[in-house]
Amino acid sequence: MVDELVDVLDPISGEPTGKSVMKYVAHTKGIWHPAVHVWIYNSKGEVLLQHRAKSKKLFPDKWDISVGGHVGFGESIEDVAVREVGEEIGLVISKKDLEKVFSFKWHVYANDGMENNEFVTVFLLKYDGSVDSLILQKEEVDGAKFFDIGFLEKDIVNNDAYLLGKNFSVSRVFDLIKKKLG
């Protein structure tokens, strides 16, 4: 896990407190901090999932959202979303390609006693390109695949292969994508 400074957020409002801590400290002590999730979908009603590298400290070897990342101290959420999409899957986008859809509080206990408390901003990104054209960041991602939303809605229930089941925002994201596609 690459360590970086993250904003400390008020646990109720999600507003920055003006303080910062290293990401590792935030995870070890359960300090609230900002993050982004970018859900990539295509015209076929599929979402792109990344397979987290086996070397990841948190939730290794799991299928996860398309792209996610922590917001560094003083960074904007949109800049981080653009950067993370480029770093993790090699897709060059701009802020105008992203659609900010909602934010939520996410609390999850992870392996090794880590407690992840995040205020997550969720973006949608439409991409009808090929998975084969993506350049995966090997330290973070060891695979990517488009999955049919209907299949995922059934398969993630009680299936340990996915980190998605721990994230209550998934059904909301799937509903938004299905609505967009008609």
Q: CA angle, corner 59, sides to 97 and 42, nearest 5?
A: 30
Task: State the amino acid at position 105 in one-letter form.
Answer: K
Instruction: Domain ranges for the chain, please list them.
Output: 5-181
pLDDT tens digits, 116-137:
899 999 999 999 999 999 999 9
Q: Say what the pTM is.
A: 0.93
Q: Provide the residue-wise pLDDT of the chain in tens; the chain has 182 residues.
A: 468 999 999 999 999 999 999 998 998 899 999 999 999 999 999 999 999 999 887 788 999 999 999 999 989 999 999 999 999 999 999 999 999 999 999 887 666 677 889 999 999 999 999 999 999 999 989 999 999 999 999 999 888 898 876 667 899 999 999 999 98
The helix (H) or strand (E) run that includes residue 87 is helix 77-89
pLDDT tens digits, 4-26:
999 999 999 999 999 999 998 99
101 alpha carbon, distance to own chain's centre: 13
Classify domain 5-181 by CATH number.
3.90.79.10
